[in-house]
């Protein structure tokens, strides 16, 4: 189990570092296997064709040679040299070769190849090479009077056939390899494109957009089946998430009417004349606490509302630099009062595709938090910079910061780090920022500012602007 | 003041009616959009509170119809939809102010009174505002207390003007943030408080009568009496 896990992790790290490569893809490997099998089949086929043809040709050559040899052997000794000369003269194509050798091996007549010493003269066909370098198949026999008769026939055709077949094998094999490789790359590119689409969709899901579905090609292939299965799972997950969110929202929604009524009742009682001072104080405190609770519900429902908003609704090009200036102007007096230096660092002007009012609400929340958690004499910097991977908006303070293990949690509803407990607020400021950032497809990062916290909003949307 | 409350949720309607009645206003409640429209067209009211989502005829269509028939009674739209776009839709249709549920009755009352006052007092060529010994020069953008003239920053001036125009009225931080700054989200307590403090530093010197009152958890008020 652990081994499998480690292998999968290794594989995943490969995939993430190298991306998907064509030569890793299944279609490419399959094409490679099929191509190899095809080439092997062609070798076998051409081999069989060659074997059959060569066998037939040799038998034919041997038949002709044997017949010619028998014809000459039947002649009388005195007629033989003349008959050999005549045969050579009539053989215009020089297909045959002849030789008549004396008992001690001296050539008497003919142009055929020398018979190597020790070769049996047993009428068995043999391959020899003549003085022109041609392959010749010969039959040698000892004549009744002791001389040796050799009749041969040219087999260059066979060599030619072997050459032709080998050539066709090389050419067709090469062509198959090239076509197969190209087809493999094309096929795998097609499936890789689909995998890339699936990968993009799953990244969107990972980012929290549960409404995303895996794209289907409509061909009903195995990738489609796989995507369908994932889509069904996503539907289930989305429904569950909606249910959970629904329960939370319903609680906030249902509780606020009775709470509003309780507040109204307390408010009425607090206006009763001649109320003892102690009772009036208690009532005021109760009302204040109820107001805090209602404020939290309001913020909670505000988050739901932002999350439910149509992404494209009010998104248009917004001058972010001017938002930073507005935030600086709005919060300067608050910072001064808290003894905190508030500065803005605006590099080049930046325009982002955003809902300007929501983005300002996010920025205001961040600046408000930064001032709230800054020690007196601290410094809060609101800034805009343009690193290569897209412009980003940041707010940096010198407060206690947020512990690494808490950073993900603070973006969730109602979470407040331990050191935040003393500060007022609904505890939902960063969650509202998180919801606004998610709505835009921006990125949000919390970092250690040594000391303090730096919150960065990456303004390059993760999806293309509408 | 005669107020028409058009609200289908009985609990909310009674919260509104109770709060207004306690403060001496006369309230008529309609529970559907049709009834509400009929009443608004036939009887004179000073202010109308209007739920955004109503059976039969929704709040947006209702206020649009009222404006088409030249009924200019100020309308406070009340809605569970807090989004700025919803607010803008409401105001564009003819609403005069927008209050988000859940609301505190104080704030609802304050908004109704601000609307009523805005309707009642709108002298055209006014050059100054007087509240007790405070005189605001609307042209020179200065404030005078006694014989002391204070130069105010733009935001301070807008804040003081808003408080003074609604003297005697408790104004919540949300109302102030919306009217003075034009932002529609909760700025938290501290932000507005700092601006109020700045005003106090200029307008409440030691020995002078306090001008701006803070009501914890409710908001701020300039006392209109001398």
Domain boundaries, chain B: 2-120, 128-222
In the predicted structure, residue B119 carries a pLDDT above the cut 80 = no
Contact list, B181 vs chain A (CB under 8 Å): 330
Q: Would you state the structure tokens that stand for residue A16, as one six-digit string?
A: 């993430």
Higher pLDDT, A370 or B122: A370
A104 in a structural domain: no
Distance in Å, alpha carbon of A237 to nearest chain B alpha carbon = 27
Contact of B9 with B36, CB cutoff 8 Å: no
**A171 is a domain residue:** no
**Which CATH number belongs to the domain containing residue A377 in this structure?**
3.30.565.10
Compute the distance between CA of residue A439 and CA of residue A441 in angstroms, rounded to an integer: 6
Q: In this model, does residue A185 exceed pLDDT 50?
A: yes
Report the chain A residue with the minimal C-alpha distance to residue B190: A334
Task: Go through B181-202 and write b for each residue having 16 or more CB atoms within 10 A of its CB, e for each that does not.
Answer: bebbbbbbebbbbbbbebbeeb
Quote the pLDDT of residue B38.
92
**Residues in A lying within 8 Å of B, measured between beta carbons:** 253, 256-261, 263-264, 267-268, 271, 284, 287-288, 291, 294-295, 297-299, 301-302, 305-306, 309, 313-314, 330-331, 333-334, 336-337, 357-358, 360-361, 364, 368, 372, 424-425
Q: What string of DSSP letters covers A326-370?
A: HHHHHHHHHHHHHT-EEEEEE-S--EEEE-HHHHHHHHHHHHHHH
d(CA A264, CA A270): 10
Q: Are A320 and A454 in the same domain?
A: yes
Contact assessment for residue A142 and residue A127, using Cβ atoms and an 8 Å cutoff? no
Q: Tell me whether B223 touches chain A (CB under 8 Å).
A: no
Output A403 or B68, whichever has higher pLDDT.
B68
What pLDDT does A10 receive?
62
| Residues A429 and A304 both lie in one domain | no
Measure B28 CA to nearest chain A CA, in Å: 19
Q: Measure CB to CB from residue B189 to each of A301, A302, A424 and give the nearest one.
A: A424
Residue A288 clears pLDDT 50, i.e. is over it: yes
Q: For residue B82, name the pLDDT band (cuts at 50, 70, 90).
A: low
> Can you tell me whether residue A385 is helix, strand or coil?
strand
The question of ipTM being above 0.90 is answered as no
pLDDT at residue A381 in the model? 94
Say if the Cβ atoms of A301 and B81 lie within 8 Å. Answer: no
Other CB atoms within 10 Å distance of the CB of residue B116:
20
Give the CATH number for residue A298. 1.10.287
Above 80 in pLDDT, residue A356?
A: yes
Please state the rounded mean pLDDT for residues A215-232.
Answer: 85
For residues A62 and A55, give the distance between their C-alpha atoms in angstroms, rounded to a whole number. 11
Whole-number pLDDT of residue A21: 63
Three-state SS for B66? Answer: helix
* Residues B163 and B212 sit within 8 Å (Cβ to Cβ): yes
Does the CB of B56 have a partner CB in chain A at under 8 Å?
A: no
How far off is chain A from B160, nearest CA to CA, in Å? 16
Residue A142 lies inside a defined structural domain of this protein: no
**A329 & A396 share domain:** yes
Range name among A10-24, A125-139, A318-332, A411-425 with the lowest pLDDT average: A411-425
- Tally the domains of chain A: 2
Give the per-residue pLDDT at B225. 63
Q: Select the more confidently predicted residue: A248 or A228.
A: A228
Residues A327 and A454 in one domain: yes
Mean pLDDT confidence for A83-102: 89
**Residues A325 and A299 reside in one and the same domain:** no
Q: Distance (Å) from the C-alpha of residue A329 to the closest C-alpha of chain B?
A: 10
User: Does A361 share its domain with A444?
Assistant: yes
Structure tokens at B143: 């404030």
Domain boundary among A284, A308, A332: A308
The pLDDT value recorded for residue A252 is: 67
pLDDT at B33 over 50: yes
What's the confidence (pLDDT) of residue A8? 58
| CATH superfamily entry for domain B2-120 | Response regulator (3.40.50.2300)
- The reply to whether A320 and A392 lie within a common domain is yes
Q: Average pLDDT of A340-368? A: 89
Residue B83 pLDDT: 67
Q: Which residues of A touch B194 (CB under 8 A)?
A: 333-334, 336-337
pLDDT of residue A465: 39
Are residue A351 and residue A402 in the same domain, yes or no? yes
pLDDT at A451: 86
Residue A250: inside a domain: yes
Count of helices and strands (H, E) across chain B: 8, 11
Q: Are strands A96-101 and A107-110 parallel, antiparallel or unpaired?
A: antiparallel
DSSP class of residue B171 equals B
In the structure, what pLDDT confidence band is assigned to residue A261 with cuts at 50, 70 and 90? Answer: confident
Domain boundary among A308, A334, A356: A308
A339 vs chain B: nearest CA distance in angstroms?
Answer: 12
What does the angle CA A147 – CA A152 – CA A156 come to, to the nearest 5 degrees?
160
pLDDT value at position A312?
56
**Mean pLDDT in chain A?**
81
A363 falls in which pLDDT band (50, 70, 90)? very high
The rounded percent of chain A whose pLDDT value lies above 90 is 15
Search chain B and give the residue with CA nearest A272.
B22
Helix and strand element counts for chain A (H, E)? 9, 12
* 3-class secondary-structure state, position A125: coil
Alpha-carbon gap, residue B167 to A84, rounded angstroms: 144
Tell me which of A418 and A336 has the higher pLDDT: A336
Domain stops at, among A308, A325, A345: A308
Question: What mean pLDDT is predicted for residues B73-93?
Answer: 82
**Is domain B128-222 annotated with CATH 3.40.640.10?**
no
Closest CA to B78 of B57, B40, B104, B117: B104
Q: What is the pLDDT of residue A292?
A: 77
Say what the pLDDT of residue A289 is: 82
Show the domain range for A274.
222-308
pLDDT for position A464: 42
Strands A107-110 and B219-222: unpaired
Q: How confident is the model at residue A427 (pLDDT cuts 50, 70, 90)?
A: low
Return the pLDDT at A394: 94
Q: What is the pLDDT of residues A310-335, one digit of tens each?
A: 555 567 888 999 999 999 999 998 99
Please check whether residue A406 lies inside any domain of the structure. yes
Please state, for a pLDDT cut of 70, what percent of chain B lies above it: 95
CB contact under 8 A, A264 and B187: no
**DSSP strand pairing (A379-385 vs A341-346):** parallel
What's the CA gap between A446 and A460, in Å, rounded?
A: 17
Give the residue with greater pLDDT, B27 vs A432: B27
The span from the CA of B171 to the CA of B195, in Å, is: 14
- Considering CB atoms only, which of A260, A334, A357 is closest to B102? A260
Question: A414 pLDDT exceeds 80?
Answer: no
Q: How confident is the model at residue B11 (pLDDT cuts 50, 70, 90)?
A: confident
pLDDT above 80 (res A437): yes
């Amino acid at each position: 189990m652990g081994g499998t896990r480690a292998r999968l992790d290794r594989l995943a790290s490969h995939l993430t570092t190298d991306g998907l490569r064509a030569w890793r893809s299944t279609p490419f490997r399959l094409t490679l296997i099929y191509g190899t099998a095809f080439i092997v089949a062609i070798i076998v086929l051409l081999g069989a064709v060659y074997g059959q043809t060569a066998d037939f040709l040799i038998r034919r050559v041997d038949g002709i040679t044997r017949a010619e040899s028998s014809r000459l052997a039947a002649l009388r000794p005195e007629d033989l040299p003349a008959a050999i000369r005549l045969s050579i003269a009539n053989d215009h194509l020089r297909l045959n070769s002849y030789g008549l050798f004396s008992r001690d091996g001296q050539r008497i007549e003919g142009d055929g190849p020398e018979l190597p010493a020790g070769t049996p003269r047993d009428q068995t066909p043999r391959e020899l090479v003549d003085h022109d370098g041609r392959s010749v198949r010969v039959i040698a026999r000892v004549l009744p009077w002791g001389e040796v008769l050799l009749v041969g026939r040219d087999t260059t055709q066979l060599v030619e056939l072997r050459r032709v077949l080998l050539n066709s094998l090389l050419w067709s094999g090469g062509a198959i390899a090239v076509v197969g490789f190209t087809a493999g790359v094309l096929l795998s590119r097609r499936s890789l494109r689909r995998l890339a689409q699936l990968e993009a969709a799953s990244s969107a899901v990972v980012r929290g957009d549960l409404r995303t579905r895996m794209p289907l090609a409509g061909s009903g292939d195995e990738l489609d089946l796989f995507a369908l299965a994932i889509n069904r799972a996503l539907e289930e997950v989305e429904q569950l998430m909606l249910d959970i969110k629904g329960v939370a929202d319903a609680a906030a929604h249902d509780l606020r009417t009775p709470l509003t009524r309780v507040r109204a009742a307390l408010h009425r009682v607090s206006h009763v004349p001649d109320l003892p001072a102690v009772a009036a104080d208690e009532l005021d405190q109760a009302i204040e606490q109820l107001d805090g609770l209602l404020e939290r519900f309001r913020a909670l429902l505000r988050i739901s509302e932002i999350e439910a908003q149509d992404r494209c609704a009010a998104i248009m090009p917004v001058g972010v630099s001017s938002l930073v200036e507005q935030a600086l102007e709005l919060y300067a007096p608050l910072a001064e009062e808290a003894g905190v230096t508030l500065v803005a660092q605006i590099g080049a002007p930046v325009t982002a595709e955003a809902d300007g009012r929501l983005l300002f609400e996010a920025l205001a929340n961040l600046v408000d938090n930064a001032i709230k958690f800054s020690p007196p004499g601290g410094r809060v910097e609101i800034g805009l910079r343009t690193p290569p991977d897209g412009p980003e908006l940041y707010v940096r303070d010198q407060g206690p910061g947020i512990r690494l293990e808490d950073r993900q949690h603070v973006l969730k509803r109602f979470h407040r780090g331990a050191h935040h407990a003393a500060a007022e607020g609904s505890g939902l400021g960063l969650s509202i920022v998180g919801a606004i950032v998610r709505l835009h497809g921006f990125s949000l990062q919390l970092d250690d500012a040594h000391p303090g916290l730096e919150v960065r909003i990456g303004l390059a949307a993760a999806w293309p602007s509408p | 003041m005669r107020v028409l409350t058009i609200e289908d949720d009985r609990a909310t309607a009674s919260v509104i009616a109770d709060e207004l009645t306690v403060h001496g206003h006369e309230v008529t409640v309609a529970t559907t959009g049709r009834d509400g429209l009929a009443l608004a067209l036939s009887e004179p009211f000073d202010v109308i509170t209007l739920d955004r989502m109503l059976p039969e005829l929704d709040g947006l269509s209702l206020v649009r119809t009222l404006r088409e028939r030249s009924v200019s009674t100020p309308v406070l739209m009340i809605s569970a939809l807090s989004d700025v776009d919803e607010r803008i839709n409401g105001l564009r249709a003819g609403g005069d102010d927008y209050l988000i549920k859940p609301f505190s009755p104080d704030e609802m009352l304050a908004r109704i009174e601000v609307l009523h006052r805005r309707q009642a007092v709108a002298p055209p060529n006014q050059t100054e505002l007087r509240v007790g010994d405070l005189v605001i020069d609307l042209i020179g953008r200065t404030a005078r207390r006694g014989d002391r003239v204070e130069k105010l920053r733009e935001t301070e001036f807008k804040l003081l003007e808003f408080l003074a125009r609604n003297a005697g009225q408790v104004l919540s931080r949300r109302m102030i943030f919306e009217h003075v700054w034009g932002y529609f989200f909760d700025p938290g307590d501290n932000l507005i408080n700092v601006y109020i403090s700045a005003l106090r530093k200029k307008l409440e010197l030691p020995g002078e009568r306090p001008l701006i009152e803070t009501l914890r958890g409710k908001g701020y008020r300039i006392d209109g009496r001398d």
